[in-house]
């Protein structure tokens, strides 16, 4: 397609290469990130994922060899051959990622009679694509990422499509597409790791070595050839590189980390209050109740059904005083109804998508005949952003965007539905995968401007980069054990794809939950950033108290554990704003040198220090737990276990196996009914002696003032030897007015003689296997003499 290399020219960080038949370019974004580009539709990237391509000025050399061009950065050697074949090497001349030179060899299937096999169809291979990059498989590659795809953690051997899909059938591992399109994956080989981000928002295909053992490929029939090779010393670097391009999950308001209760739908007002009372009565912390589509008048967005909620402002403000926030759902579909202001305004200003003749396009969703806001029109986005004021003024605290694949009841939107496409014009094939992305961006920007607080937006459909604007959930799962099991690899892969703030419907959306399933689900849900129990309209109740006393107790135990861990979670999110690392992490992210963890699907890390190995099978009361190298402490018994092996852990129904890495400092909150219930003047640190560095971060938990420096940092440095444990506490930065008075330090598994803080003896309490000391929250050295 490209032909032979003719010549090249350097244009700052970019090298434009003239091939016989086409121009290609390679751009050095950073010494580790290289962009490969050729225009098939647009001259520019026209990226929706990367809003600010931060190209770093860096040194590179280029020379022409016999049959290739060689580009050398501080980290990589890139060789470009005829036909725009590209090979990436590290500085040791090891091939990291090479283009495959042969033709694709589609799968050979045995011949079959179409009629007889109708019910047993297998997927046909994807034909040759206009834009297609075929990469060599070296051997043992594992692939991770790709967003919310079903199945297991490692995507090797499967094929996927990026086409945002609302699929009402139970999600199973053969699905090629779901609600989200994140065309990014990480490859892990014996010695190396790298990532590839194919920034193309048309329908794209990814074959991770299914068609053939010799190669994997990705491609599309439209858009540009535009991908980034992201190098890294380890998987963490690669996630860092990918989020350097597409953005990091920003720090949310702290209350969004509390427990959230939802159902389709809680109404009227009295029912919502009854649910809230249920939490108080049963001594279960809760921060948010969600209102699903029935709060609206005839499903008209930005309206209230006054029969169900007679005075939303009063209701929401009283509710807030009681410590409950309300999040309301907003779908994109705007009811086609004369006199409905949102519809009329949108029509007047031509804010809706049209058919190819310019007539407003109509399909059916919840309100009946509905029109689709054109979020690819910046004016329509501003209008949508301003509409958020209606909800914010009423006292709503967050917005939940659903149905934005976009979904439709009258068959899919035709390909030729027309959009503004930022003034360039474009059809549904181009906008489909970014519709949810642009909707959540508009929602985020509106809420930010109106409230000046960190917006809480939840979206179902999205594209790469939406993590900057929105939290995500994995859509309509079912109350199946299989879906509890699958939630772990799905959330882990979403995390590797940049989405740190994500979750699934705890208890399952469709189908009826059981008490055992809910008991186990809450043990996983309490470790996902978005912790929301949600269920579909006709299903049986699944609030924490909907079953028996035991189920209630288990819910209480894990929801309280979650609230205890909020400062640790918040610290992890704060760090993630710099590193891009997610909260829920597959073990392979930190322990990729240990082959045993490459395919662990039923275990994960919550931040770096807590390993969670939940039970995800009915009836199981033991769990095989793999502990990677190092020493791990059983959270419940404080038993120390040497890692690098599997153990069998007793796991009665109320116990989720959890392990803390030796050398951990974990901040804990006291019990609260909701976040902000108490002014926290004493912070507890749950310490697992060893070597550790930890930074605890504090800000107002709501606004953007932290960006102007209004925050506090408490830094801990722990060192240990035979007879001493030292914790050096520093306060390198204290610019936020609310400061702690004291720290309560819990030292686990220590037999001690004496505790001193800044050389003064301090009293300590012994409690079981732990020691407790309370010290002022100031700089100093806590030194503990062991027995
Ligand atoms: O067609 O608003 O995934 O969470 O409860 C169903 C009703 C529409 C799908 C969402 C689900 C929500 C439901 N919605």
pLDDT in tens, 333-392: 999 999 999 999 999 999 999 999 999 999 999 999 999 999 999 999 999 999 999 999
What pLDDT score was predicted for residue 108? 79
Question: For the chain, what percent of residues have pLDDT higher than 70?
Answer: 98
Residue 131 near residue 178, CB atoms below 8 Å = no
What pLDDT score was predicted for residue 623? 98
Contacting residues for 231 by C-beta, under 8 A, at least 6 apart = 32, 33, 34, 75, 76, 88, 90, 96, 194, 237, 238, 241
Measured on CA atoms in the order 374, 378, 379, 385, is the torsion positive or negative?
positive
Closest-CA residue, ligand 1 atom 1, reads: 403
Contacting residues for 352 by C-beta, under 8 A, at least 6 apart = 334, 346, 360, 361, 371, 372, 373, 374, 380
- For the cut 70, the answer to whether the pLDDT of residue 451 exceeds it is yes
d(CA 746, CA 625): 26
Distance 177 CA to ligand 1 centre (A): 18
DSSP string, 264-319: TT--SHHHHHHHHHHHHHTT----EEEE-GGGSSTT-TT---TTT-S-HHHHHHHH
- For the cut 80, the answer to whether the pLDDT of residue 697 exceeds it is yes
**Confidence grade of residue 769 (pLDDT, cut at 50, 70, 90):** confident
Distance 459 CA to ligand 1 centre (A): 11
What pLDDT score was predicted for residue 71? 98
Ligand 1 pocket test, pick from 168, 403, 504, 508 with the greatest ligand atom count within 8 Å of Cβ, gives 403
d(CA 597, CA 585): 12
CATH number of 257-566: 3.20.20.80
Residue-range domain boundaries for the chain: 1-246, 257-566, 584-661, 679-786
pLDDT digits (tens, 9 = 90+) for 308-324: 999 999 999 999 999 99
User: Which residue shows structure tokens 């599997």?
Assistant: 646
Distance 402 CA to ligand 1 centre (A): 7
- For the cut 90, the answer to whether the pLDDT of residue 723 exceeds it is yes
Contacting residues for 477 by C-beta, under 8 A, at least 6 apart = 171, 483, 486, 487, 504, 505, 508, 509, 510
Phi first, then psi, for residue 219 (nearest 5°) are 180, 180
- Ligand 1 proximity of 402 Cβ (cutoff 6 Å): yes
Mean pLDDT of 81-100: 97
Counting from 1 in the atom list of ligand 1, the atom nearest the Cα of 505 is 4
- For the cut 80, the answer to whether the pLDDT of residue 126 exceeds it is no
Assign domain 1-246 one CATH number from 3.40.630.10, 1.10.10.10, 3.40.190.10, 2.60.40.1760.
Answer: 2.60.40.1760
- Ligand 1 proximity of 293 Cβ (cutoff 6 Å): yes
Residue 502 near residue 179, CB atoms below 8 Å = no
Same CATH fold assignment for domains 257-566 and 679-786:
no
**Confidence grade of residue 190 (pLDDT, cut at 50, 70, 90):** confident
Counting from 1 in the atom list of ligand 1, the atom nearest the Cα of 262 is 5
- Ligand 1 proximity of 476 Cβ (cutoff 6 Å): yes
- For the cut 80, the answer to whether the pLDDT of residue 253 exceeds it is yes
Measured on CA atoms in the order 619, 278, 502, 151, is the torsion positive or negative?
positive
- Ligand 1 proximity of 199 Cβ (cutoff 6 Å): no
Counting from 1 in the atom list of ligand 1, the atom nearest the Cα of 265 is 5
- For the cut 80, the answer to whether the pLDDT of residue 435 exceeds it is yes
Q: Which tokens go with 493?
A: 């892969």
Instruction: Report in angstroms the alpha-carbon separations of 730 from 200, 243, 384, 774.
Output: 46, 30, 46, 16
**Confidence grade of residue 106 (pLDDT, cut at 50, 70, 90):** confident
Is the backbone peptide bond immediately before 265 cis, with ω within 30 degrees of 0? yes
Across the chain, mean pLDDT equals 97
Distance 118 CA to ligand 1 centre (A): 31
- Ligand 1 proximity of 329 Cβ (cutoff 6 Å): yes
Residue 390 near residue 340, CB atoms below 8 Å = no
pLDDT digits (tens, 9 = 90+) for 211-249: 999 999 999 999 999 999 999 999 999 999 999 999 999
Mean pLDDT of 592-613: 98
- For the cut 90, the answer to whether the pLDDT of residue 110 exceeds it is no
- Ligand 1 proximity of 331 Cβ (cutoff 6 Å): no
Which residues are catalytic, by number? 402, 405, 476
pLDDT digits (tens, 9 = 90+) for 548-594: 999 999 999 999 999 999 999 999 999 999 999 999 999 999 999 99
Distance 537 CA to ligand 1 centre (A): 9
Distance 586 CA to ligand 1 centre (A): 28
Dihedral of CA atoms 641, 646, 647, 648 in degrees, nearest 10, equals 160
d(CA 509, CA 32): 42
Closest-CA residue, ligand 1 atom 8, reads: 403
d(CA 757, CA 778): 10
- Ligand 1 proximity of 405 Cβ (cutoff 6 Å): no
Measured on CA atoms in the order 463, 468, 469, 475, is the torsion positive or negative?
positive
DSSP code of 663? S
CATH number of 584-661: 2.60.40.1180
Three-class SS of residue 489?
Answer: helix
DSSP string, 561-595: HHHHTHHHHHHHHHHHHHH---SEE-GGGT-TT-G
* Nearest partner of 636 among 558, 720, 691, judged by Cα: 558
Question: First vs last Cα of the chain: how many Å apart?
Answer: 74
- For the cut 90, the answer to whether the pLDDT of residue 759 exceeds it is yes
Strands 418-419 vs 334-335: parallel, antiparallel or unpaired: unpaired
With 0-12 CB in 10 A as exposed, 13-18 as middle and 19+ as buried, what is 122?
A: exposed
- Ligand 1 proximity of 435 Cβ (cutoff 6 Å): no
d(CA 344, CA 364): 18
Residue 645 near residue 632, CB atoms below 8 Å = no
Distance 407 CA to ligand 1 centre (A): 11
What pLDDT score was predicted for residue 778? 97
Counting from 1 in the atom list of ligand 1, the atom nearest the Cα of 263 is 5
Residue 208 near residue 216, CB atoms below 8 Å = yes
User: Which residue shows structure tokens 């990589």?
Assistant: 76
* Nearest partner of 290 among 316, 319, 325, 331, judged by Cα: 325
CATH number of 679-786: 2.60.40.1180
What pLDDT score was predicted for residue 170? 97
**Confidence grade of residue 163 (pLDDT, cut at 50, 70, 90):** very high
pTM for this entry:
0.98
Q: Which tokens go with 170?
A: 């139970």
Instruction: Report in angstroms the alpha-carbon separations of 487 from 9, 173, 505, 585, 602.
Output: 48, 12, 9, 12, 9
- For the cut 70, the answer to whether the pLDDT of residue 331 exceeds it is yes
Q: Which tokens go with 528?
A: 């996902």
- For the cut 70, the answer to whether the pLDDT of residue 111 exceeds it is no
């Amino acid at each position: 397609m490209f032909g032979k290399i003719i010549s090249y020219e350097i244009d700052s960080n970019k090298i434009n290469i003239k091939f016989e038949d086409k121009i290609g370019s390679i751009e050095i974004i950073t010494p580790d990130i290289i962009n490969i580009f050729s225009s098939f539709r647009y001259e520019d990237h026209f990226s929706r994922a990367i809003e600010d391509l931060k190209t770093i000025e860096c040194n590179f050399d280029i020379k022409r060899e016999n049959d290739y061009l060689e580009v050398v950065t501080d980290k990589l050697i890139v060789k470009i051959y005829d036909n725009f074949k590209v090979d990436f090497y590290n500085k040791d001349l090891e091939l990291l990622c090479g283009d495959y030179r042969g033709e694709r060899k589609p799968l050979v299937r045995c011949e079959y009679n179409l009629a007889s096999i109708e019910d047993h169809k297998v997927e046909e291979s994807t034909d040759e694509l206009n834009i297609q990059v075929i990469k060599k498989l070296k051997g043992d590659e594992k692939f991770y990422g790709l967003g919310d795809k079903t199945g297991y953690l490692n995507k090797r051997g499967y094929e996927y499509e990026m086409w945002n899909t609302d699929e009402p059938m139970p999600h199973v591992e053969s699905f090629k597409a779901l609600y989200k399109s994140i065309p990014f994956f990480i490859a892990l080989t014996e010695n190396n790791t790298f990532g590839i981000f194919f920034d193309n928002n048309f329908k794209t295909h990814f074959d991770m070595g299914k068609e053939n053992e010799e190669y994997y490929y990705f491609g599309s029939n439209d858009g540009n050839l535009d991908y980034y090779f992201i190098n890294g010393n380890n998987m963490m670097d690669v996630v860092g590189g990918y989020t350097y391009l597409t953005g990091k999950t920003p720090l949310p308001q702290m209350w969004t980390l509390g427990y959230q209760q939802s159902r389709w739908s809680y109404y009227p007002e009295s029912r919502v209050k009854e649910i809230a009372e249920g939490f108080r009565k049963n001594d279960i912390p809760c921060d948010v109740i969600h209102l699903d589509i029935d709060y609206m008048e005839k499903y008209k967005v930005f309206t209230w059904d006054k029969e169900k909620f007679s005075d939303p402002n009063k209701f929401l403000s009283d509710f807030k005083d009681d410590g409950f926030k309300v999040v309301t759902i907003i779908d994109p579909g705007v009811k086609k109804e004369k006199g409905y202001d949102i519809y009329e305004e949108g029509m007047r200003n031509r804010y809706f998508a049209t058919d190819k003749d310019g007539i407003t396009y109509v399909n059916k969703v919840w309100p009946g005949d509905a029109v689709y806001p054109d979020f690819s029109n910046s004016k329509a986005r501003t209008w949508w952003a301003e509409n958020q004021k209606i909800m914010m003024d009423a006292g709503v605290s967050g917005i939940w965007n659903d149905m934005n694949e976009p979904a439709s009841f009258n068959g899919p939107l035709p390909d030729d539905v027309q959009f503004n496409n930022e003034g360039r014009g474009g059809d549904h094939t181009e906008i489909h995968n970014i519709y949810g992305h642009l909707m959540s961006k508009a929602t985020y920007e509106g809420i930010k401007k109106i409230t000046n607080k960190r917006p809480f937006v939840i979206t179902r459909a999205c594209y790469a980069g939406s993590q900057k604007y929105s939290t995500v959930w994995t859509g309509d799962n079912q109350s199946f054990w299989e879906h509890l099991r699958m939630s772990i690899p799905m959330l882990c892969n979403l995390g590797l794809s940049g989405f740190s703030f994500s979750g699934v419907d705890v208890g399952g959306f469709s189908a009826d939950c059981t008490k055992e399933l809910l008991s186990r689900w809450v043990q996983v849900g309490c470790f996902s950033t978005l912790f929301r129990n949600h269920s579909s309209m006709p299903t049986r109740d699944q609030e924490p108290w909907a079953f028996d006393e035991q189920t209630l107790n288990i819910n209480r135990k894990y929801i309280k554990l979650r609230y205890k861990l909020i400062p640790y979670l918040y610290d992890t999110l704060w760090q993630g704003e710099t590193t891009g690392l997610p909260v829920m992490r597959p073990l392979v992210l930190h322990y990729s040198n240990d082959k045993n963890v490459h395919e662990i699907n039923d275990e994960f890390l919550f931040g770096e220090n807590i390993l969670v190995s939940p039970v995800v099978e009915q009836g199981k009361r033991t769990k095989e737990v793999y502990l990677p190298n190092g020493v791990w402490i059983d959270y419940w018994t404080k038993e120390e276990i040497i890692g690098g092996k599997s153990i069998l852990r007793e796991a009665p129904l109320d116990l989720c196996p959890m392990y803390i890495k030796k050398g951990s400092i974990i901040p804990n909150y006291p019990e609260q009914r909701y976040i902000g219930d108490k002014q926290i003047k004493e912070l507890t640190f749950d310490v697992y002696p060893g070597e550790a560095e930890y930074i605890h971060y504090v800000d107002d938990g709501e606004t953007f003032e932290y960006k102007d420096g209004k925050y506090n940092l408490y830094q801990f440095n722990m060192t240990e030897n035979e007879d001493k444990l030292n914790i050096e506490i520093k306060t390198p930065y204290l610019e936020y007015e609310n400061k702690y008075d004291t720290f309560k330090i819990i030292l686990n598994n220590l037999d001690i003689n004496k505790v001193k803080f800044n050389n003064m003896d301090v009293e300590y309490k012994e409690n079981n296997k732990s020691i407790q000391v309370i010290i002022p929250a100031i700089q100093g050295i806590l030194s503990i003499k062991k027995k």
